[in-house]
Structures are given as structure tokens and as C-alpha cells.
């Protein structure tokens, strides 16, 4: 939160009116969510396994 308030990376991106709209941002978030929902098994597959120290 402090990085956001101080406008530091990665929160220092410029905003371009009429191009960076809330609708575009929401569509981007929806795409990220969809990717994670679709690939969640692959992303957290290590939870189903018993890992040793060498595996980690």
C-alpha cells in the first residue's frame, strides 16, 4: 500500500484518458482471473504431492 501511495513501481504507470478506461481494466482483470481458474490445478499441483527438501 505504501508503494502505491508513493507512486512507486509497479504503481507508477501512466494513465491515458479515453484509452485506459475502467472497462478495459475490468476486462484485463477478468482475463487474469479466467487464466488462474482454468490453470489452478497445474499452478498448485505441488499440494497433492509429498515433497522432500530436495524437491523444494
Q: What residues contact residue 9 under an 8 Å CB cut-off, 6+ apart?
A: 3
SS3 track for 1-56? CHHHHCCCCCCCCCCCCCCCCHHHHHHHHHHHHHHHHHCHHHHCHHHHCCCCCCCC
pLDDT band at 48 (very low <50, low <70, confident <90, very high): low
Q: What is this structure's pTM?
A: 0.49
Q: What is the pLDDT at residue 35?
A: 92
Residue 51, pLDDT > 80, answer no
Residue 43 neighbours by CB distance under 10 Å: 11
pLDDT band at 10 (very low <50, low <70, confident <90, very high): confident
Question: What are the tens digits of pLDDT across the range 14-44?
Answer: 888 888 888 988 899 999 999 989 988 777 7
Amino acid at each position: 500500500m505504501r508503494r502505491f501511495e508513493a507512486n512507486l513501481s509497479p504503481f507508477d504507470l501512466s494513465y491515458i484518458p479515453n484509452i485506459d478506461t475502467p472497462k478495459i481494466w475490468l476486462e484485463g482483470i477478468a482475463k487474469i482471473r479466467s487464466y488462474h481458474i482454468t490453470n489452478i490445478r497445474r499452478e498448485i499441483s505441488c499440494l497433492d504431492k509429498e515433497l522432500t527438501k530436495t524437491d523444494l
